[in-house]
Amino acid sequence: MSGLISTTGSSEYISLLGALLSGVVAGFIYFYAVKVVAWWEIDDPLEVTQTHLCCGIWGTVNVGLLHQKEGLFYLGTTSLL
């Protein structure tokens, strides 16, 4: 679910490899966000914060990194960040 949330907003602008990378990174972000929220003892039984907030922020940032025409990893510019 976290990979889908991080990739859906940018699916028009990133390549298949970029979507795969985005989903893998979102999985790690979700895993560590669950640990942090549990450590802070925040009651979130549906894990909405970890999924939608943390992975959604990553989904917003990855457009600037993985955009096929203007992204940092493809063109080297920071205009979208």
Q: In the numeric block, which tokens belong to residue 80?
A: 């979208």
Between residues 78 and 25, which one has the greater pLDDT? 25
C-alpha–C-alpha distance, residues 58 and 55, integer Å: 5
pLDDT, mean over the chain = 90
Domain that holds residue 31: 2-66
Show the CA angle centred on residue 19, arms to residues 70 and 31, nearest 5°. 120
- Does residue 51 sit within a domain? yes
Residue 80 lies in a domain: no
Q: Please check whether residue 71 lies inside any domain of the structure.
A: no
Q: Count other C-beta atoms under 10 Å from residue 70's C-beta.
A: 15
| pTM of the predicted protein model | 0.87
Calculate the CA dihedral of residues 56, 59, 61, 62 and round it to 10 degrees: 160
> What's the total number of domains in the chain?
1
Residue 29 lies in a domain: yes
- Say what the pLDDT of residue 74 is: 81
Given a cut of 80, is residue 81 above it in pLDDT? no
